[in-house]
Structure 1
């Protein structure tokens, strides 16, 4: 039988949990002790007592973290005022940007007292007097800034400094420079007061990097949290688990640099949810990021925090469970434009002699054959751009039916075998594969090569394709290469292909959908069944036959190109 905890005892009426509140916490808790009846059942009482003990310990620790800084501040202030008056003020001998920023934040933070005063109620005489004073000071600030003569406001700045235990011992020129740096904050403050006089109880808009008021001389300096894990160490620890793709590594490193620059005084162990929120809002407002982009950024950075938390190097992950929906458009507001499928009219223009097939020269996008065949494969398979870009001869198999073996994909569920659509075979795709083999190449796209270390080769085609459809065909920004994947999904739905089957074709997971454990048994749909279903997909497009692969990057003779596209034999003029 489990032992009765020390903070639990038995009475004639049953068991009772009792714990004494530590004296420093009593004003906050509002009582000397916490008591709770646990009933008559012994085992239940023991279980509840242990839970309540843990709960109160957590509550007391949280309160200590709140109260300790207040107590330290009060004690430090008492020590400060115990000094002789002539030894209290600390001299400032240099004017720095940090000093000016601290004074600006100090002045603007003092406006909280004005707001509290107004909410308590002011009479007509106070209102009129304040109205006159605000107008006069606004005019004086404007004149001082316009004329570069800040002397009338030297006493204001000196007063702010003395209130925090400082005295300014610099040259008159430096004094004036400091006041001119602080005056815009004074002007902003009086503009806010004027708005409050008009009934708009606004607050100063302080950025996270300039919202720290000048600390008082007596304020204790907080000890920096030293977990041995700075931003660089956090990234290094994340990299150790497995080999990361250069592009992913580069993207996360860039995001960590952006985050750490936005909150320069934070380290991984002190980063808060509020700071994460402010950074994401900054990315939204300054970079125009959509809610989906913000979610992607937060998920990427949150992944490296998650690894450190699992290994107990950090106490928490500030990105865990973050609600990115707060940044999405609300009901009644038109949502931002996102990627969409191509319309049939757009597909007709892209896959026409005047579209992709009309550009027979140039190295852009990996050359003619990559520019033509990769979009065709995307349209008739729904494969992602990078999945197509990594195809080699070993990824093309003819048994039991011609199919792609997609072995390098976004995630595990995306690794799959996809039949080659009959239309691609009709257009000569297998002939193209054989020509690549005879030319001694390994990859299906021998001229698709990125010079960057972190860029995928397929990105060259993606950028060229976007340039072509947006710049040459004047299509909207809402369509890109990935729109071919969206189009394929719609083609599957319109062909009444079962959802789990077209998920298998495109490498989409069934997570979140109704399923049972039996769905994971076996190897899934056979290639013959997949091909039978894919054959239902037809498009009312007159697609030209791509030019044969000759080992060259482009076709220099436009007349020969047109003859070949029409299927005219080589020797016929």
Structure 2
């Protein structure tokens, strides 16, 4: 049933969504142990969810947000006429686990000391002749995230040909995004001064931050995702980072907060970071590359004190 749904939704859902749902459905399918989908009940779905929480140690929030959404979406589709009404009802409808109240222990943006520590570590990342793309990820992706607010997987998917210049504006073309909608992000002048374009020019055609030859075909985890997770682990090991902030995703919060302080208007902040706009009217507004570039000029540089007292930006 899931494979039929995935085939039907292939042009309607982001690939990452289908991939995420697949893991949840496999777990539920293993729990069902070969039973006919038409015989499954709400009690079955709830028992599976409880097992995910109590046996596998997955948080109630993650189960509600991911697993139950996936199962409910598949069954809801299967009840429709377009699917041939494969099942009579949706056993996951209304099922949810109680979630403990979580109080945020700190803000999600990086503090100045954390910004300095991460970017310093990135600047000092040692070249790795045995795995050059891994060292490239460590060297450049934190800086790219710091000056764009892009998701790490969007950056680790960049290819040499995605770095372009049009009408005097150099930008990243982010092809692989969470929403499935590509977007262009102007490259901040500070990144150019740091040598990012020299790195791109010296790179071979194809992916900038992973080597396809090092990854087997058919793996559910893409090479770009592997590199992003590896970067997160490396930052945790290298920098004394508060557990309450994410070493990669924290840049999205930090970029938007700094952009707000710099007076960059909300519509442009959303366009650069790929966030959904707040109203129907805003959807009719498509900021041009020149507008985005002018906004990026306003974004403040990071003043990072090096050990030799020089300053990188």
What residue is the counterpart of 2:282 in the other structure?
A: 519
Superposed CA deviations along residues 498-539 of structure 1, whole A, max 9, x for unmatched, are 2222111111112xx3x34x43335x1122221222222224
Question: Which stretches in structure 1 are left out of the alignment for 5+ residues?
Answer: 1-233, 545-561, 568-573
Per-residue deviation, 1:250? 5.9
What residue is the counterpart of 2:141 in the other structure?
A: 374
User: 1:461 aligned to 227, 230, 236, which one?
Assistant: 227
What residue is the counterpart of 2:58 in the other structure?
A: 289
Kept in 2, the 8 Å contact 1:492–1:537? The answer is yes
Kept in 1, the 8 Å contact 2:262–2:298? The answer is yes
Note if 1:236 corresponds to 2:7.
Answer: no
User: 1:313 aligned to 79, 86, 89, which one?
Assistant: 86
Note if 1:280 corresponds to 2:49.
Answer: yes
What residue is the counterpart of 1:533 in the other structure?
A: 295
Superposed CA deviations along residues 528-560 of structure 1, whole A, max 9, x for unmatched, are 22122222222443277xxxxxxxxxxxxxxxx
Per-residue deviation, 1:360? 0.9
Kept in 2, the 8 Å contact 1:365–1:465? The answer is no
Question: Which stretches in structure 2 are left out of the alignment for 5+ residues?
Answer: none
What secondary structure sits across from 2:184 in the alignment?
A: strand
User: 1:504 aligned to 271, 274, 277, which one?
Assistant: 271
CA distance in 1, matches of 2:73, 2:123: 43
Superposed CA deviations along residues 414-444 of structure 1, whole A, max 9, x for unmatched, are 42111111211121222222222xxx42322
Kept in 1, the 8 Å contact 2:210–2:223? The answer is no
Superposed CA deviations along residues 317-352 of structure 1, whole A, max 9, x for unmatched, are 2334x465x53334xxx4377993322211111111
Superposed CA deviations along residues 360-399 of structure 1, whole A, max 9, x for unmatched, are 1435683322211112111111111221122123322211
TM-score, normalised to structure 2's length?
0.81
What residue is the counterpart of 2:117 in the other structure?
A: 349
TM-score, normalised to structure 1's length?
0.47
User: 1:302 aligned to 61, 72, 75, which one?
Assistant: 72
Kept in 1, the 8 Å contact 2:14–2:178? The answer is no
The answer to which structure, 1 or 2, has the higher relative contact order (CA under 8 A, 6+ apart) is 2
CA distance in 1, matches of 2:21, 2:6: 11
Per-residue deviation, 1:281? 2.6
Change (3 A) 1:328 1:339: farther
Change (3 A) 1:260 1:323: closer
Structure whose alpha-carbon radius of gyration is higher: 1
What secondary structure sits across from 2:79 in the alignment?
A: helix
Kept in 2, the 8 Å contact 1:382–1:488? The answer is yes
CA distance in 2, matches of 1:410, 1:428: 28
Superposed CA deviations along residues 3-42 of structure 1, whole A, max 9, x for unmatched, are xxxxxxxxxxxxxxxxxxxxxxxxxxxxxxxxxxxxxxxx
CA distance in 2, matches of 1:461, 1:339: 26
What residue is the counterpart of 1:138 in the other structure?
A: none
Paired residues, number:
300
CA distance in 2, matches of 1:250, 1:509: 21
Note if 1:395 corresponds to 2:124.
Answer: no
Change (3 A) 1:286 1:474: farther
Kept in 1, the 8 Å contact 2:172–2:187? The answer is yes
Note if 1:450 corresponds to 2:219.
Answer: no
